[in-house]
Structure 1
Amino acid sequence: MAGKMRMGTGGPGMGGLLKDGYKHYSGLEEAVLQNVQAAKELSKITRTSLGPNGLNKLIINHLEKIIVTSDASTICSEMEVAHPAAKMLVMASSEQQKAVGDGSNLVVSLAGELLSQAQDLLRMGVHPADIVVGYKLAAKRALAAVEKAVCKVMSADELRDASQLAVALQSVVAAKHYGFEHVVAPLVAEAAVAAMPSAPRRPAISVDNIRVAKLIGGSITDSQVLRGLVVLRDTEGTVKRADKARVAVFGVGIEAADTETKGTVVLKSADELKAFARSEEETMEEVVKSLSDSGVTVVVSGGSISEIAMHYLEKYSILVVKILSKFELRRICKVTGATALVRLGAPTEEEVGTCDSVVVQEISSRRVTVFQQDEDDSRMATVVLRGATTSLLDDLERAVDDAVHTAKTLCRDGRLVPGAGAVETAVSLDVQEFASSVPGLEQYAINKYAEAIEVVPRTLSENAGKDATDIMSALYAAHAEGKVASGVDIDEGGVCDAEVAEIYDSCMAKLSAIRLASDAAITVLRVDQIIMSKQAGGPKPREARPGDL
């Protein structure tokens, strides 16, 4: 069955078909098993990061930035995987991250295990087509089994209750920062509730409405949630507070406008010089006075602020914030309801924004400006994260981002399934039972699919340093007795009731992960030939330096 690698040479056969420089791999040994092996290697990397006791990876990317994380989506994207088959797993993981925000590691680990089990069948002589059919049947059964395992459905009132929402988010945070889930999950839940629309409407979250501000210093327990937007810089002048503020946002700098053409001014005396400077000052004072007369007490500038403008802004007691990021400007407009102006001058009533308070606070020896809205419809909240190192803060931000996406998912589908590997054990048993009713070679593939789903409880046990075989036996025994919420107890090394321990996973996240992992594995198994064109020319790779890996 093994195929041959051919190079395009212009001769007979495949060589005559392809251009010079093409590579062609075919057959079981060279194409199918090579692809399976590449996917297995990727899965092996991410699997040790699965669950609360998962280990971190230290990645140095092409910009020499150091990333320390256990987030599978980040690991896959920063590694720049080149193998086409492994890339399919990376794309499936990325899609899971975009769609649900959690479960990216489950996608890669499950897809890798499905292909590993398929490899055994291929070596036994089972045709890939039979495996694909079996996997499709098993995936359909597994999705139905997950929906059957739903143990709780969150109502609209429960989603608006920060304490109950925090319980549903704890497992997501624990997967990244075990031990701090009781600190971070309530913060995310508080921010999510603050970002939801008022009660008559259905709970929904816009991810962009929950911001993260990272401040080095202090510990994770010092983190807090602030209603509104936190800008990580001080104000420009001496005015540090404005209550019931009227806000004007300018997308341009506050300074005298440059002329479109170059001009030369000839000054013949000191009086002419004073008069020239005075006219510029009067023009700027006119602009600032018109702002003050329209009731503006806070000015946000998207460019530089001249010294003359700063002088008059101080004179009229206007608080000034300079923000060079266009995205940040857009968020301030969203929070305050202001319109960004591209001209200097007093804004109209429709263009002015309002804010309950704009105040400078000192957090961790750093001055930040807080645009705080206590009760409004802008619905924006900021999670202020504290930590000792930049790497820790970056990883905390990823955990918060996953939790926010999960909260958004729960607003769409409030179903929860028992976590700690309980639902995977129940699905595995259900698929095994289904396999016995299917005739033909597909039965082998369905049994292997059931074995592959065991990867979650087995890996949770291994990563916690426990005996996976003993725990799997205890899990199956508990499920056989009808205890369908039995999962892995990573602390004691036995079996725990996930519902009693309040360990829940989003049903939608599980369904999406199983669907994407199955599709990725089936796509890889369906490939029997690899045809690679010659790479385009470009700069030569950097030479290895001493100390490089």
Structure 2
Amino acid sequence: MQAPVIVMNTNVEREVGRKAQVSNITAAKTVADVVRTCLGPRSMLKMLLDPMGGVVLTNDGNAILREVEVAHPAAKSMIELSRTQDEEVGDGTTSVIILAGEMLAQALPYLEQNIHPIVIISAFKKALDDAIGIINDISKPLDVENQDEMLNLVKGSIGTKFASRWSDLMCKLALDAVKTVFKDDDGKREIDIKRYARVEKVPGGEIEDSKVLDGVMLNKDVTHPNMRRRIENPRIVLLDCPLEYKKGESQTAAEIMDENHWNRLLQIEEEQVKEMCDAIISVKPDLVFTEKGVSDLAQHFLSKANISAIRRVRKTDNNRIARAVGATIVNRLDDLKEEDVGTGCGLFSIEKIGDEYFTFLTKCKNPKACTILLRGPSKDILNEIERNLQDAMNVSRNVFFNPSLAPGGGATEIAISVKLAENSKKIVGIEQWPYKAVAEAMEVIPRTLIQNCGGNPIKVLTELRAKHATGNHTWGIDGEAGTVIDMSDYGIWEPNAVKVQTIKTAIESACLLLRVDDIVSGVSKKKSEGASAPAPDAEGPELDEKPEQ
């Protein structure tokens, strides 16, 4: 395959220098304005329509930007920010976009005054280092074992979301789930909530019926009606191989001349399946899970031996079961040994919820994997609650790794803003102004919180600055009433890791976009004959991502 060759064409539309920077800043501000109303407890919801006609209702910044389609490269880069933030710390996806948009907006006047972008970037980097130091100074340590403190912290992340009215229940679910999958081996701390804490959404029932199971739940039923559907302290075997007759690997043809040959073929098939079942029966299990199929003949042999079988289990579910019951997944039946059998489960049962059957493996001695069962009136509501629950679990997880808290409600941002404004007076030269711009940009978070609940931004921010100037670092905004309040009384704290990551991502991405001084589009707009070329819109030229080969 020949490598794509990019030929610079004089007709190709380009945006150079100032024009490119202004275009990028406009695009970034547009993306930030989309999610600006989604910050804080009084945030608005966005209704997103996908091409298939589906509807998503959410105020989660990451979920919104995942669904939005944009053409401008700078806007694409902004959308990538929320994804990065979500993968890294799982919270603060809306804040990072708003902050990055504001950083770029604050840089625009300096670009217009012909201050070189590199000078602005250098000042931003200085401000970033100072800001991280300020966050660490105003953070307080947290006792991870203190249940009340942990619940208060997780409430802070859910308080701004749709699920806030069930915040006590959701926080408890998130904390229980994270504690279940928390593993500390030889000083290596691991909390893999994506893999080992699965959320199962079952429409119907009430949200209050949601719970964390001390084990695993699957949307499966036993393969044969005579198999047991409730077993206490079952011995469990997990397989990754089919319990079916193994046919020839390549194209195999068998010519049958008479009836005896045909009977012999059937007999061989039966012998092979019986041999497989005997290998399983030899370790005396009560329950067999396999990721592949189970033939009718195998079902018959297993049912006769009083063993229940469940087939076509997902790979991820099988891994979760292995962790919960202490079993080892076996790839070949010849390798099955006594120590591969899982005995850590207290109860296996199959229950019918709505129209479907669900398998429960509960009362596990040391689960290390869990399922969160969510009940609710409709799929849309369950999807939104799941998104909120993921945020809450991420916050709990971050605190286990870095047990230190910064005040929420815009208090940390204002503290940084006031301190940076003070520091800027000591800087000599032109860098003083972009450095001060970071201080002003930081105010966007508390200002947006006030605007979203209908407060007066100028009056409240002035009052808040006055509090911080006298060293009261824990004062922030009450997102419900739009007034100034002490966060240590109000109990809104956020993990230090989330705050640091938000500011790092926002400032570094702003620096990245300021470095761009040329946008070259691979696609020239076809000029109609006689007509002048259309001026590029505010969105900027579209990028053709896949060059022709």
Q: Under TM normalisation by the shorter chain, which class is it?
A: 0.7 to 0.9
Residue identity (%): 28
The answer to whether 1:336 aligns with 2:325 is: yes
Q: Which moved more, 1:401-410 or 1:99-108?
A: 401-410
User: For residues 237 and 255 of structure 2, what CA distance do their matches in structure 1 show?
Assistant: 34
The answer to whether 1:59 aligns with 2:44 is: no
Describe how 1:242-257 pairs up with structure 2 within 5 A. Answer: 242-257=231-246
CA deviation vs aligned residue, 1:492-526 (integer Å, no higher than 9, x gap): 33122211121110111111111110011111112
Which of the residues 375, 394, 398 maps onto 1:405?
A: 394
Structure 1 pair 200/538, CA: closer, same or farther in 2 (3 Å)? closer
SS in 1 for 2:235: strand
User: For residues 547 and 103 of structure 2, what CA distance do their matches in structure 1 show?
Assistant: 37
Alignment match, 2:106: 117
Describe how 1:96-495 pairs up with structure 2 within 5 A. Answer: 96-150=85-139, 152-155=140-143, 159-177=144-162, 178-197=164-183, 204-207=190-193, 208-237=195-224, 238-260=227-249, 261-268=252-259, 277=266, 280-281=269-270, 283-344=272-333, 347-356=336-345, 357-363=347-353, 366-376=356-366, 378-495=367-484
- 1:21–1:533 CA contact under 8 A, matched in 2: no
- Cα drift, residue 40 of structure 1: 0.4
CA deviation vs aligned residue, 1:78-125 (integer Å, no higher than 9, x gap): 324332222222233222212111112111110001111222333344
- Cα drift, residue 55 of structure 1: 2.1
AA matched with 2:201: K
Structure 1 pair 292/340, CA: closer, same or farther in 2 (3 Å)? same
CA deviation vs aligned residue, 1:28-56 (integer Å, no higher than 9, x gap): 1x211001000000011111111222222
Structure 1 pair 363/160, CA: closer, same or farther in 2 (3 Å)? farther
User: For residues 496 and 536 of structure 1, what CA distance do their matches in structure 2 show?
Assistant: 49
User: For residues 381 and 283 of structure 1, what CA distance do their matches in structure 2 show?
Assistant: 37
SS in 1 for 2:374: strand
- 1:163–1:186 CA contact under 8 A, matched in 2: no
AA matched with 1:229: V
CA deviation vs aligned residue, 1:451-475 (integer Å, no higher than 9, x gap): 1111111111222232222322332
TM-score, normalised via structure 1 length: 0.86
- Cα drift, residue 61 of structure 1: 3.8
User: For residues 89 and 211 of structure 1, what CA distance do their matches in structure 2 show?
Assistant: 29
The answer to whether 1:27 aligns with 2:17 is: yes
SS in 1 for 2:361: strand
CA deviation vs aligned residue, 1:403-443 (integer Å, no higher than 9, x gap): 22222221221110111111111111111111222233322
Alignment match, 2:539: none
Structure 1 pair 398/36, CA: closer, same or farther in 2 (3 Å)? same
- Cα drift, residue 201 of structure 1: 5.6
- 2:256–2:262 CA contact under 8 A, matched in 1: no
Structure 1 pair 379/98, CA: closer, same or farther in 2 (3 Å)? same
CA deviation vs aligned residue, 1:141-167 (integer Å, no higher than 9, x gap): 2222111111x3123xxx244443222
- 1:355–1:372 CA contact under 8 A, matched in 2: no
- 1:56–1:68 CA contact under 8 A, matched in 2: yes
AA matched with 1:268: E
Which of the residues 483, 499, 503 maps onto 1:510?
A: 499
User: For residues 369 and 13 of structure 2, what CA distance do their matches in structure 1 show?
Assistant: 53
TM-score, normalised via structure 2 length: 0.86
Structure 1 pair 526/537, CA: closer, same or farther in 2 (3 Å)? closer
Q: Gapped runs of 5+ residues in structure 1?
A: 1-14, 540-549
- Cα drift, residue 355 of structure 1: 3.4
User: For residues 170 and 264 of structure 1, what CA distance do their matches in structure 2 show?
Assistant: 71
Q: Gapped runs of 5+ residues in structure 2?
A: 1-5, 524-543
- 2:449–2:482 CA contact under 8 A, matched in 1: no
User: For residues 485 and 212 of structure 1, what CA distance do their matches in structure 2 show?
Assistant: 35
User: For residues 199 and 263 of structure 1, what CA distance do their matches in structure 2 show?
Assistant: 54
- Cα drift, residue 379 of structure 1: 1.0
Structure 1 pair 342/133, CA: closer, same or farther in 2 (3 Å)? closer
User: For residues 52 and 344 of structure 2, what CA distance do their matches in structure 1 show?
Assistant: 40
- 1:50–1:106 CA contact under 8 A, matched in 2: yes
Q: Which moved more, 1:454-463 or 1:468-477?
A: 468-477
User: For residues 389 and 98 of structure 2, what CA distance do their matches in structure 1 show?
Assistant: 22
How big is the alpha-carbon RMSD for the aligned residues of Structure 1 and Structure 2?
2.8
- 1:301–1:322 CA contact under 8 A, matched in 2: yes
Structure 1 pair 65/100, CA: closer, same or farther in 2 (3 Å)? same
